[in-house]
Each structure stands twice: as structure tokens, then as C-alpha cells.
Structure 1
Amino acid sequence: MTIKDDPFRCFVPYPEIPVKSAATGPLAGLTLAVKDLFDVKGYPTGAGSPIVLAQSGIKTKTAPIVKTLLDAGARFVGKTHTDELAFSLNGKNAHFGAPINPAAPDRITGGSSSGSMAAVAGKLADIALGSDTGGSVRAPASYGGLFGIRPTHARLSLKRVWPLAESLDTPGWFARDGKTFARVADVVFGKDRIALPEVPRLLLAEDMFAQAVPDAENALRNVVQRAMPLLGEPEMVKAARDLDALYWAFRWVQGRDAWNADGAMIERFAPPLGSGVAERFAFSKSVTDEEVAKGESVRKSFRNRLAKLLGSDGVLILPTVPDIAPLVSANEAELEDFRNRALRLLCLSGLSGFPQVTIPAAHREDAPLGLSLIGPKGSDKSLVHFAVKFERAARIRIA
């Protein structure tokens, strides 16, 4: 890494190897941190796992998504910590420790893009790459008061990136401000397949707001209300017919994919997996073909429902997660309970494959809380630009 002072413990302490970037370009002047799932020439890729790190060797090629940012002028400053094998939402790694949340040091960073969030929130990098399977960019972004995105599934390359669940994995990134966030979108996305209108048709997911704790729900509804004078009043809708069915569909599909990705390695080497991660892989191994088939059926049905709801001009508004980040002192059972509640919100974008942006929206108990916008499949760039507009509109206080 090139960062000499890392007070938030967000960077993997690899020896510094120069990484070439363009001297000019649309991202010139911005520093870039990269989650340690993405290959960077001259560095190993550890995926938060001692076994993966031991087998990695030094990479001779850089992941295409990283190269795109370097070629646009971003300057690499280091690789960031991730939860073990990217299979957690907590930001705690049993082998390499936990980054500190700069926005709320007594609370977790969230994961698995824990180090990337901390690097941006702590102003050690201007932008940071993460990955998002079940919420690994969106949840940390909410916890750190950042912009974050889960793009349309398969819109951006995941070549030379350690997988967790192939049919759900996406790259994503963090930024502290809307202008920087949108600059990255303009670089990585080509023309949108569906371009949202300047002011989309807004839909507020009442059933998803009900998943937030009451104080968080009230805070986020106030954010929506502040944006209404400029962006209009949203229509109240129900996003899901059966949220429990979506939750289990996500877990079954993710579990089967995760076991396909890492199961052979786990069975061959029997690595000591951290608490929570071990249980999730045990669950993944137990997922049956019948459960996968049921999950895929639910996924297809929900994707069709959401596509119909959004059309080509709709944006769904919902909480990113149920509340502010859990306390660092929370025990494993408390963290797992929060994770399961969070997945009921986070699984909508994952199952549908539609893009979701989280924006810094509110604070509660001196900790940040994000609000999310889901757009139609392929609307990523215009969704990012609208999300920046929404965040600005919501800053206006009602007299």
C-alpha cells in the first residue's frame, strides 16, 4: 500500500508496488482503494482468507474494472480488507481484524467491503472499489454516510475478481460526495439501456419502510418529504408479495453459488473459518436441489414483478438497511439477527439484478443512515445522476 498512516486499519499491509495509472483523464486527481478480491498487477489477492492468500502468488494482470479506473486517471493507494471470502455483512475478519468505522467508531463498518468503506469515510481514498453480493457495498455505505452502488447484474466485468456467488456478485464503489460518485459512473458505464427521465416516477415501498426500526423509518420518511418540493410526491406501493419467500430464495441461491465457488477448497484444506462465516458455509453445503429450484422460481417471479412496477421510468425508494450500524460490542447472535433483517431489504436488488444506489440521508444516535433507490435494469448511469440530485434535494430543510 502507499498509505503510510492507516488509523482506521482499512488497508492490507502489502509491500508497496507502484501501479501505473494515466496522468490525465476524467478521474485524474482522485485516489483509488481496491478491495482485496480484485486482482492488481504486482500484488496478491487474499480475499480475506489465509488459504487464498497462501495460494495467490503475485498477480501479473489487473482486473478490467480496476484498469478502467486507472486508465481514467485514478491513482492507486492500496488494497483494502474484506470479510473472509466476502461472506459477511459485519466487517469483522477472524484472521485479519476489523477496520474502524470513521463515521461511528463504536459501530461496525459492515462488510464485506469493510476496508473500502473505511478508506473513503476516513478520507484516505477518494473512491474505493468493493463488491456487492448480498449488500456488501450498500450496507457499509449506509453505515459510513457514503454514496454506494450495486449495479445491474453483469453490466460491469468481474473478470479476475474472487467470486462469492456468481449469479449475484457485482462490483461497486464508494464516494463521499455526489460529484465524485457520478464521475466514476460516467467512466465505467456506457450508454444506459434504459435512461431514466430527468425526474422519474417515484415509488415509495411501504412494505420495505416497515422493515426499518421506527426511529430509522421516521428519519428516512423525513428525508423523502424534504425532497418532495423539487422532485414530487412518490406513489405508495408494495414491492413484494411475500418478503419471507424472497429472503429464503436469496439465501438458497446465494448458498448454492457460494458452495460452488468455495466448497471444494473448504473441503480439501479444512481452513479454520471465522464465526458466522463457518455457519454460512455449512448452511450453503446443506442447500438442496429442491430449494435451489424453488429459489430460482421465486427470483424469476419477483424480477418480473419489479420490472412491471418500475417500467422504464420508475424508481423505488426504500431504506438501505433496517437501522444504523450495530455496535462493535454486539455479540455474534445479535449481529446475525441484524444481518437477517437487513437481507430482507437488501435481497430485492440482488434477486432482481436491478441497480440500487444508496445515498447518505440521515443520522440517528450520531451515526449515519442511508436511503436507497432502485431503478430499472440497465438504468445505472441515469440512476446515479438522479440519486445525486435526490440527495441534494433532500438537504433542503422545510421551514
Structure 2
Amino acid sequence: MLLDHDPAYAFMPYPAVPVPHAPTGPLSGLTFAAKDLFDVAGYPTSAGSPHLLALSGIKTRTAPTVQRLLDAGARLVGKTITDELAFSMSGKNAHFGTPVNGGAPDRIPGGSSSGSAAAVSNGLCDFALGTDTGGSVRAPANHCGLFGIRPTHGRVSLELCHDLAPSFDTCGYFTRDGATFERVGRVLLGDDATPLPQAPRVLLARDAFGLLQAEVREALAPALRRTQAVLGEAREVEVATEGFTTLYWAMRYIQSREAWTVDGPLIERYRLPLGPGVADRFAFSKAVTDAQVAEARVIRAAFRKRFGALLDGAVLILPTMPDIAPLLSESDEALNDYRNNALNLLCLSVLSGLPQVSIPLASRSGAPLGLSLMGPAGSDLSLVTLARRIAESA
């Protein structure tokens, strides 16, 4: 860590090793952090696990995505805590602790990019890299009151980054303000392969909003009006005609099989003492059958085709999460229930591979609450620009 202090407990306490960056560039003057899944020369990579940290050694190469930001003039200030093996959504790491949610300190920061979200929300850096497999950028963005993006799958390189479920893994980032969100996006995302049209169709995910409690819908109502004032009146659509339960299980079976393929051999070889929740998810992953995975992949393929056609030339408005962040005092069972409810919303982007941005537009009970936009594959920067416009609108 290259900061003098870390009141948010967001960073891994590695010895400070300066990381060279370009003296000038489009991100000159900005500081950033990288989730401790990305390799950075001079540092180890723990992936949130003491055993992986012990096995890591000091890396001699820097992940291309991190290097891209350094070459653009941004200065790296450290590597941030991640949930164990990135297979959680609470932000609580049984080995390295829980970073502080800068938007609601009495609530969980959200994971697995918890340290990155904590670093940005507490003002310790201007932006931070995270990864989003099942929601690990979008959930912390919602919880901590940040802009966040899950890009089109494959849009941003994950070379020299520890995998979780490769067909779902993406690299996103957090910022506190729309101007920085767009500035970083122009470097990290590059030009859109499929820019949104000047006047895209505007859709509203009626069934997704129907999953929310009345008080959450009420809290989001002003943000929804503000969004439609910028984008235009939205047409209500059903986005999960297969049923959210069907999509939830398709995502979970595929993610679990891939997570066990990536980390299972390591877990069994070293008998890793996994933390609460994480141990249960890997036990479930080991038991997933070939038949369950095969059926899930058929469901994913059909959903991608249908959902991609629905969003062709369109922007979809939907809730980021089912509610504000749970309190830190909630039980593990309550946190797991919240996670499962959240995956009903989060699975849309995951299964389709389409980009989603979360915008910090609302609050409830004094805690942040996000609203999301989704668009066609390759429309990432267009969504980032729209997010800025909406956030800055009167």
C-alpha cells in the first residue's frame, strides 16, 4: 500500500512498492486501486485467500488492464481486499476483515470487490478496479453510493487476473462522480463497437421492479422520473419471461461448475479452511451435475438470443439490487437470503453478457440505493455517458 493510512481497512497491508506510471496522459492526476485478483509487478496476489497469498510469490508482470491505466497517467496506490476467492457478495472476508462502507458505515460494503468500493467511497482514491462475475461491482456500487459498471463480457482484458467463472467474469470499476466515471471509461473501455443510437428506445423492466418491496420502489421513484426526463418515457416490458427462478438456477449451476473447475483442485489439495458462506458455495459447486450444467447452458443460450434482441438499439432501466445494503449485524443466513434475492436481478447481465451501469441516484433509511441501465453488447461507453448525464441532470 502506498498510502500513509487506511481508515477504511480497504487495502491489503503489503509493503509499499512504487509502481511506475506515465507522467502525463488522459488519467494524469488520478489515483486508483486494483482488486487483489490482478497481478501487479512487485506485489503478491492473494485472491482473498491466505493460502493463495502464501503460494503467490512476488509477481514480475502487471496485468494488462492495470498497465493500461498506468500508461494513461493514473497512479496506483495499492491492492484492495476481495472476498475469499471472489466467491461472495457480502464484502466480509473471514481472513482479512471487512472494509468500511463509505456510504453507510453500519452496513456491509458488498463483495467481492469490497475493498475497491470501500477505497473509493471513503475518498482514498479516485477510482478502483473490481471484477463482476455474479454482481461484484454492481452490488458494492449500490451499497456504497458509487457509479459502477459490469462491461460487455470480454470487453476489458482479464489476463493475469485470478478467475472465478470465466464465461461470466468481467472487469469493471467504481467512481464517486460521473465525470471521472466517463473519463476512466474512455481509457478502459475504448470506443463502442455498437454505440447506442441518438434516440434509443427506452424500456423499463416491469417484472424486475415487481421483485422489490413497496418501500424500495417508492425510494427509487424520484430517480426513475429523473432518468426518464433525460432518456424519454419508457415502455414497460417483461424481461424474464422464462421466470427469474429459471434464470437464477441457470446462472448458479454454470457459475458453480466453473468455480469448482478453477478452484476445486486447489481447495482439495490444500484443504483450504474456507470462511462462512464461501465454504457452502464451493460444497454446492462440487455437487453440481453434468446434466444440470447442460440444461443451464441451453437456457442461457436461448435467453441470450431473446434478451439481446429485446435490447437491440434500446436502453433498459432496472433496479441494481433488491434494497440497500444489509446491516453488518445481520446473520450469515440473512445475508445469504439477501444474496439469493439479489441474484434474480443480477443474473440478467450475467447470462446475456450485456453491459450494465449502476448510478447512485437514490437512498433509503440513510443508505445509498442504485438504479441501473443496460444496453446492447458493445454499448458500454454510451451507457457510461448516459449515466453521467442522468446524474448531472437537475
TM-score exceeds 0.5: yes
Q: Distance in 2 between matches of 1:253 and 1:230?
A: 37
Q: CA shift at 1:206, angstroms?
A: 0.5
Q: Distance in 2 between matches of 1:174 and 1:293?
A: 34
Farther-moved stretch of structure 1 (324-333 vs 295-304): 295-304
- Residues 1:3 and 2:17 aligned together: no
Q: Deviations over 1:299-318 (max 9, x none)?
A: 1111111111111x201111
Q: Distance in 1 between matches of 2:286 and 2:238?
A: 33
SS across alignment from 2:161: coil
SS across alignment from 2:18: coil
SS across alignment from 2:78: strand
Partner of 2:218: 218
- Residues 1:31 and 2:31 aligned together: yes
Q: CA shift at 1:226, angstroms?
A: 2.3
Q: CA shift at 1:334, angstroms?
A: 0.1
Q: Distance in 2 between matches of 1:362 and 1:145?
A: 9
Q: CA shift at 1:378, angstroms?
A: 0.9
Q: CA shift at 1:361, angstroms?
A: 1.0
Partner of 2:357: 357
SS across alignment from 2:307: helix
- Residues 1:325 and 2:325 aligned together: yes
- Residues 1:307 and 2:308 aligned together: yes
Are the counterparts in 2 of residues 88 and 111 from structure 1 also a CA contact under 8 Å?
yes
Are the counterparts in 2 of residues 41 and 59 from structure 1 also a CA contact under 8 Å?
yes
Q: Distance in 1 between matches of 2:323 and 2:198?
A: 30
Q: CA shift at 1:18, angstroms?
A: 0.7
Q: Distance in 2 between matches of 1:108 and 1:214?
A: 22
- Residues 1:176 and 2:158 aligned together: no
- Residues 1:195 and 2:191 aligned together: no
Distance change >3 Å, CA 197–CA 390, structure 1 → 2? farther
Output the TM-score relative to the length of structure 2.
0.98
SS across alignment from 1:79: strand
Q: Distance in 2 between matches of 1:193 and 1:240?
A: 26
Partner of 1:64: 64
Alignment map for 1:330-345 (pairs within 5 Å) = 330-345=330-345
Are the counterparts in 2 of residues 83 and 93 from structure 1 also a CA contact under 8 Å?
yes
Q: CA shift at 1:325, angstroms?
A: 0.1
Q: CA shift at 1:232, angstroms?
A: 1.2
Farther-moved stretch of structure 1 (189-198 vs 85-94): 189-198
Q: Distance in 2 between matches of 1:235 and 1:46?
A: 45
Report how many residues are paired: 393
Distance change >3 Å, CA 390–CA 199, structure 1 → 2? farther
Partner of 2:271: 270
Q: CA shift at 1:266, angstroms?
A: 0.5
Paired residue type of 1:125: C
Q: CA shift at 1:199, angstroms?
A: 3.7
Greater than 6 Å deviation, 4+ residue runs = none
Are the counterparts in 2 of residues 207 and 240 from structure 1 also a CA contact under 8 Å?
yes
Output the TM-score relative to the length of structure 1.
0.97
Q: CA shift at 1:191, angstroms?
A: 2.7
Paired residue type of 2:279: A
Partner of 1:119: 119
Q: Distance in 2 between matches of 1:314 and 1:209?
A: 18
Partner of 1:138: 138
RMSD: 0.9
Q: Distance in 1 between matches of 2:292 and 2:226?
A: 43
Q: Deviations over 1:115-158 (max 9, x none)?
A: 00000000000000000000000000000110000000011110
Partner of 1:390: 390
Q: Deviations over 1:50-86 (max 9, x none)?
A: 1100000000000000000000000010000000000
Q: Distance in 2 between matches of 1:97 and 1:30?
A: 27
Farther-moved stretch of structure 1 (349-358 vs 188-197): 188-197
Q: Distance in 2 between matches of 1:139 and 1:68?
A: 25
SS across alignment from 2:390: helix
Paired residue type of 2:79: K
Alignment map for 1:86-101 (pairs within 5 Å) = 86-101=86-101
- Residues 1:163 and 2:163 aligned together: yes
Q: Distance in 1 between matches of 2:166 and 2:238?
A: 29
Q: CA shift at 1:33, angstroms?
A: 0.6
- Residues 1:209 and 2:209 aligned together: yes
